[in-house]
Structure 1
Amino acid sequence: MELIRGNVELVKDIAHSKPVPLLIYLKNSPVPDMETQKFSREMLPEIYTAMAMVSKPGLSRFIMNLLFSMSKPPIPMKSFTNAGKAKKWLKKVTK
């Protein structure tokens, strides 16, 4: 939880508290606890306008389904296996 809070503050500081698009490369990692998942869902629209996730096939979809199984994501989100396509999508949705 502290790591996530630190990341939120870092992004706010870098972006001057203005939401920005996020391109993230996903790797296998432990599933966050419920408190961390809830906090992440709440903070997403405060720091990001959209999120493109690049990973091996299936991994990002699994993570999205896990985090947003009960409600739709609060910002546009899409998974990719190609970083170039992810960047193009982010530019399109954040115009």
Structure 2
Amino acid sequence: MPESSCTFHSEHEGDRTVIRLCGTFDRASAFELAQRLEGEHDHELVLDFSLVREFADLGVATLAHGLAGADHRLFMRGLRQHQLRIFRYFGVDVEASADGDPGATAS
């Protein structure tokens, strides 16, 4: 598998884990992120895409597929309408939460 062109930094904000992504989010990045999410034990996760400079549609679609059946409460930051639409096309329901983060649930 090709090396990811996106970097990931994890930190805690209260009782949730925040994973900040930076760089280009592509298919390889999506696979790496999906593996990281499988290993996360916190119930609430935030994926912060605000520092991603370029999105590959295939990366977004790959991540959406990887989120199917996840048992985490997932929030996403920094996505544009196009990426939100792709997530919805692949069955990840993204909606705004009370704190302004779009929350996501895979159906």
**Rg: which structure is higher?**
1
Q: TM-score with structure 2 length normalisation? A: 0.46
Structure with the higher fraction of residues in strand conformation = 2
Tell me the TM-score normalized by structure 1.
0.50
Higher-helix-fraction structure: 1
